[in-house]
Amino acid sequence: MALRGRLSTSSPATRAARVALRCPRKRSSATRFFKARASARATVSEETPFTLSKSMVRTTSRRALGLSSALWVVVGFDGPAARASMGSMSAFDALERRAKSAYYARDLSGALDALTAIIELEPEEPVWRERRGQVYVDLKRFEDAIVDYDFAEKKYEKEYRSLGMLSNRALAYEGLARWREAIENYSEAIKYSEMIGAVPPYVLNSRGNCYNSVGEYQKALVDYERAAEIFQQSRNLSGAIYAASNAALMKVELGRVDEAIEDMEKVKRRAAGSVDMRAALAALYWSRGDEQRAEDNWNWSCEKINSGQLAEGGPVLDGCELYRDYDWLARIRRWPPSMVERFRKFISLTPP
C-alpha cells in the first residue's frame, strides 16, 4: 500500500509527461484581443492588439486564464496613426518590435520598458496602456495593470469594448482577491461575447472560480457546466475535463454527492493520467466508509501517475504530494471547503 502523499516512482515507460490540467490561476492568458461594438449588433474591430499572455492550457499558474477563441485572431502589431507625425517613424517602429519580441522571449521587463517608452511618446493612446496592462498582469503587478486598463477604458470610444481587456482586468482583480470586481468584468466580457456568438469557455470557467471563491456554488456550477459543454463542442478534451472536474466538485458542496461521484468516475476514465479526480474520489469514498475504494484511488494516484516533473529538479506540476498542501488545495486548485475537509480527514486517517 502506498504511503499517502508519496511521490510516484513511475517506470521509464510511464515517465512521459502526463500533467493534469489545473486552472487556475493563474497565470497569464493566451489572450487575443478584439473590440466588440456595444450595440444591438456587435461587430468585431479590425484593430487588434498583439497577444501578450500565455495559454492556460500550457501552465499551472493560478493566475493563468486562457481567454482565446476561434474568432480572436491577431491582426498585427501596428499601432495608432499618431506616429506618422513623429520625426522618425523607424524609432517608433523599433520600440514596437522590441516590445513584441521581448514579450515572446518572456523578457517581461524588456517588454515593459519598451511599452513605457511608447506611452511617453503617445501618452493619450489607450491601446498602449492596454498592452502594458497585460505585461503587468504577467508580472503579477495587478494594481498597476488595473490603473492602465482603467485609463484605456476611459480613452476608448464609448461604444467600444475590448473583450480581452475586460477579461485581463478581471484576472488582475482575481490576483488581488477582489472577487466581486473580477466577476463584474468577466460578466461584461461574457455579455459582449454572446452578442457576437462566441463565448470563450475559459472565461466562463474563470468566472466560475470567482463564484466558488465567494461561496456562490450554484452559480459556479452553471458556469463550469457551460464551459465544459463548449470545450467539448470545440473538441478541447483537456479543457472539457478540467471544467467537468470543477463542476463535480461544486456538486459535492451543494450536497449532490452521488451525482458528483458518478461525474468524477467519468472524468477519471477520460483522464487516466490525472490525479485530481482520483484524489477527490479517495476523499469521498473515505467519508462514506468505503476504505478500500478510497485507498485504491489514492494508491493509483501515487504509484501509477507521473508527478508531472518534466526535468530533474524542476517543479512538480501534478502528483499526489501537492494534495497534502491544504492551502494549495483550497486557494490554488480551488477545491471547495467540504472537499478540502474530507480530504484532510482521509490523509490523517480520521474516521468518517
Give CA–CA dist 245/91, Å, rounded: 50
Question: Count of alpha carbons within 13 Å of 34, Cβ hemisphere only?
Answer: 22
Give CA–CA dist 109/102, Å, rounded: 8
Question: Count of alpha carbons within 13 Å of 344, Cβ hemisphere only?
Answer: 13
Question: What does pTM read for this prediction?
Answer: 0.75
Q: Could you tell me the pLDDT band of residue 15, with boundaries at 50, 70 and 90?
A: very low
- Residue 52: exposure state from Cβ atoms within 10 A (0-12, 13-18, ≥19): buried
pLDDT value for 88 = 54
291 and 307 Cβ atoms separated by less than 8 Å: no
Is residue 25's pLDDT more than 70? Answer: no
Strands (E) located in the chain: 35-37, 160-162
63 and 26 Cβ atoms separated by less than 8 Å: yes
335 and 316 Cβ atoms separated by less than 8 Å: no
Give CA–CA dist 273/17, Å, rounded: 9
Query: What is the residue type of 119?
Result: I
pLDDT value for 303 = 85
More confident residue, 78 or 160: 160
Residue owning grid cell 481587456: 165
Residues 223-274: pLDDT tens digits?
999 999 999 999 999 999 999 999 999 999 999 999 999 999 999 999 988 8
Q: Give the torsion sign (CA, 163, 165, 171, 177).
A: negative
Please provide the average confidence, as pLDDT, over all residues in the chain: 78
Give CA–CA dist 208/222, Å, rounded: 8
CA-based nearest residue to 70, from 241, 189, 160, 197: 197
26 and 3 Cβ atoms separated by less than 8 Å: no
Q: Could you tell me the pLDDT band of residue 306, with boundaries at 50, 70 and 90?
A: low
Residues 314-345: pLDDT tens digits?
555 567 888 999 999 999 999 999 999 999 99
Is residue 58's pLDDT more than 90? Answer: no
pLDDT value for 21 = 24
Question: By three-state DSSP, how is residue 133 classified?
Answer: helix
For residue 57, the Cα-to-chain-centroid distance in whole angstroms is 8
Least confident of 14-23, 73-82, 184-193: 14-23
Q: Could you tell me the pLDDT band of residue 10, with boundaries at 50, 70 and 90?
A: very low
Helix H segments across 106-162? 108-121, 126-138, 142-155
pLDDT value for 352 = 86
Q: Give the torsion sign (CA, 17, 21, 26, 32).
A: positive
187 and 207 Cβ atoms separated by less than 8 Å: yes
H/E stretch holding 139: none
Please state, for a pLDDT cut of 90, what percent of the chain lies above it: 64
pLDDT value for 100 = 94
Give CA–CA dist 227/10, Å, rounded: 33
Q: Could you tell me the pLDDT band of residue 90, with boundaries at 50, 70 and 90?
A: confident
Phi first, then psi: give them for residue 36, nearest 5 degrees.
Answer: -110, 130
220 and 208 Cβ atoms separated by less than 8 Å: yes
Please state, for a pLDDT cut of 70, what percent of the chain lies above it: 71
Residues 130-150: pLDDT tens digits?
999 999 999 999 999 999 999
Neighbours of 177 (CB within 10 A): 11
Pick left, alpha or beta for residue 11 (phi over 0 → left; psi -120 to 50 → alpha; otherwise beta): beta
Least confident of 51-60, 137-146, 174-183, 335-344: 51-60
Give CA–CA dist 350/343, Å, rounded: 10
Where b means 16+ CB within 10 Å and e means fewer, 126-162 reads: bbbbbbbbbbbbbebbbebbbbbbebbbeebeeebbb
Domains parsed from the chain with CATH numbers: 1-20+215-352 (1.25.40), 23-197 (1.25.40.10)
Question: By three-state DSSP, how is residue 271 classified?
Answer: coil
